[in-house]
Chains A and B, each alone.
Chain A
Amino acid sequence: MSALSESLRAGREPAVQSVWARRFGVFWRSWETRISTLLLLVMIGVALVPTSVWPDTAFDSNLTLRHREPGLLMGTTDYLFGADALGRDVFFRILMGTKLTLLIAGLATLFATIIGSAAGLCAAYFRGWVDMVVSRLVDIMLAFPILLLVLALVAALGQSVSSVIIVLALSGWAGYARVIRSATLSLVEREFVEAARCTGARSGHILLRHLLPNVASPILVLSTLNLASFILTESSVSFLGLGPQPPAVTWGALIGDGRNYMYDAWWATLFPGLAIILTVLAFNLVGDAMRDAFDPHTRQ
């Protein structure tokens, strides 16, 4: 208010800031968010590198280099994070694992978002038995110990990349459905929905063109936080040996491999875990910052 009256007094046009500029201002204000965003961009860049580009030392076993100590400790850059039980370069294996780790979490999040948002929107819009069925299903899904459900389903469907993605999506949609349902419930009563109905808009049109854009911000925030939790779940599944099978590489699987030799070569276990922690942390920080940015009550 004071900025407005000040500029009026000075005879200037009041500076009009777009909603998105304000949101970005809130989002970008803390250095944690900036570092996290940059880190995630670098990660995505690494994930996009074709597998053939990585040096042979990441794939080929070389038993003369078995459990070679990290170059980091010896002040050299070769084998920066050491070598694993087969003499493979841990540093490049972590970089290689970025692709599958992010791909699984990303696609599973995409599918969970689509299923969960559709279920939540429909439950709130149609009410009645649709709401009844969706709400009971959400109750049921949220009661399952997710990791146990995921492990059992992956074991049954086969330990492949696609089955991990499907199982994560099937087990993770309920959280979205619950949030999107309650966000939509308050919108359905608003005038613009009634106005759309009066002009003869079909349900599908109202759902996609009027309601969906209004719940886009919680969907975006949830998806970001969900990426973090899917990375954690997938890494647990892979660590326990029920994830995609070699030569597929994810960070969780690297820790699972390293675990058997962790007394002799701790580096093969330690470094992949740091990759998981940093990535999950970055997604959580970016998600929190997005939540603040979309919240109209946050002061800039």
Chain B
Amino acid sequence: MLAYAIRRILIAIPTLIGITLITFLLVRVTGDPARFVLGDTAPPSAIEAFRAEHGLDKPLPVQFVNYLAGVARGDLGTSLRYQQPVLTLFAERLPATIQLGLSAYILALLVGVSVGVYSALRAGSPLDKVIRVSVLFGQAVPGFYLGLVLIIVVAVGLGWLPTGGRGGLSHLVLPTITLASYLVAFSVRFTRSVMLDVLHHDYIRTARAKGVAEGAVIRRHALRNALIPLVTVLALQSSVVFSGAVVTETVFSWPGIGRFALQAISTRDFPVIQGTVLILTAFVVLVNLIVDLAYAYLDPRIRYS
């Protein structure tokens, strides 16, 4: 286990450096950040001053080393728009995104497991067909569109819930449904197929044969084996959730990281673009690493393959 863990962690290090390099190049290779921020009509003196102020007048390798050194110290630069450290601005908006993301995950797990298990147990029934069609739609609906439809129908038409902003529980409902739509469809589909697979195993037949009640067979024997892969694949979707958060937070004016990143892109606030993409991607790598390690710990067969 230790050898496997060390190997996995060693592989993650070049990945993280590669991500830092790509985010660094993201705003440099595609154009001069000074022109990008100040515009084409800016006088040469202003461009020079901007370059000197942000260390852009140095050769690229030097800039990258400086950037890496800054990242290692936790210094991701200063926002051009807010004149505050990127990390501070990021930390202020993080709780809102975590709240939204976790609610989406909880919804996906609850609906995914209950509906997925039902659909597997009643495979072929009319309700199972309805569920499968809904799953197909859930995977085809763009998040922003679902959000807008929910705002028009539930918030404006019926007046049941607020149209946006962050506040009490009522503010959380529509953004959570919007962000979770893909995850819910995904986990229903996944649970259904895993359950269908598990239910054909010998130990399920054995459990039934020895007289275990059907509910206990499902809960204690079948579901338990289906839950581990479900939690794993859901955790591996974190980068999809961040992409979804950009759209969901924008549609619902939710004051989180996704909306913040989009505003930075629109206002050409390059230290913020660089910093948020870097932190989110590094987070995804770490989550995937933890999932891999946990999975290897729980299932010894993985370590040897």
Q: Mark B1-17, 1 if CB is under 8 A from A, else 0.
A: 00000000001001100
Contacts of B149 in A (CB 8 A): 270, 273
Q: How many A-B residue pairs have CB under 8 A?
A: 133
Among the stretches B88-96, B105-113, B223-231, B240-248, the one at the interface with A is B240-248
Q: Is the CB of A242 within 8 A of B261?
A: no
Q: Which of A145, A232, A242, A273 contacts B281 (CB 8 A)?
A: A145
| 23 pairs from A and B in contact (CB 8 Å cutoff) | A140-B19, A145-B239, A145-B242, A147-B246, A148-B258, A148-B276, A152-B273, A156-B27, A157-B31, A228-B140, A232-B140, A236-B142, A236-B246, A239-B142, A262-B152, A263-B152, A263-B156, A270-B152, A277-B140, A277-B141, A277-B142, A281-B137, A284-B140
Q: Which B residues are closer than 8 A to A by beta carbons?
A: 11, 14-15, 18-19, 22, 26-27, 30-31, 36, 136-137, 139-145, 148-149, 151-152, 156, 239-240, 242-244, 246-247, 250, 258, 261-262, 265-266, 268, 273, 276-277, 280-281, 284-285, 288
Q: In the complex, given contacts A252-B142, A281-B140, what are 10 additional A-B residue pairs having Cβ atoms less than 8 angstroms apart? A: A136-B18, A139-B11, A143-B15, A145-B284, A153-B30, A232-B140, A236-B246, A255-B144, A270-B152, A273-B148
- Residue in A closest to B20 when the chains form the complex, CB atoms: A140
Give the distance in Å from the alpha carbon of A257 to the alpha carbon of B288 in the complex.
38
B interface SS class: helix
Contacts of B143 in A (CB 8 A): 236
Q: Which A residues are closer than 8 A to B by beta carbons?
A: 136-137, 139-140, 142-149, 151-153, 155-157, 228, 232, 235-236, 239-242, 252, 255, 259, 262-263, 266, 269-270, 273, 276-278, 280-281, 284-285
B137 to chain A, nearest CB (A): 7
Q: Is the CB of B15 within 8 A of A242?
A: no
Contacts of A142 in B (CB 8 A): 239
Q: Is the CB of B145 within 8 A of A255?
A: yes
B282 to chain A, nearest CB (A): 8
A43 to chain B, nearest CB (A): 14
Q: Which of B139, B145, B277 contacts A152 (CB 8 A)?
A: B277
Contacts of A241 in B (CB 8 A): 266
Contacts of B18 in A (CB 8 A): 136-137, 140
Give the distance in Å from the alpha carbon of A149 to the alpha carbon of B243 in the complex.
9
Q: Is the CB of A236 within 8 A of B144?
A: yes
Q: Is the CB of A242 within 8 A of B265?
A: yes
- Residue in A closest to B27 when the chains form the complex, CB atoms: A156
Q: Is the CB of A143 within 8 A of B145?
A: no
- Residue in B closest to A234 when the chains form the complex, CB atoms: B142
Q: Is the CB of B137 within 8 A of A277?
A: yes
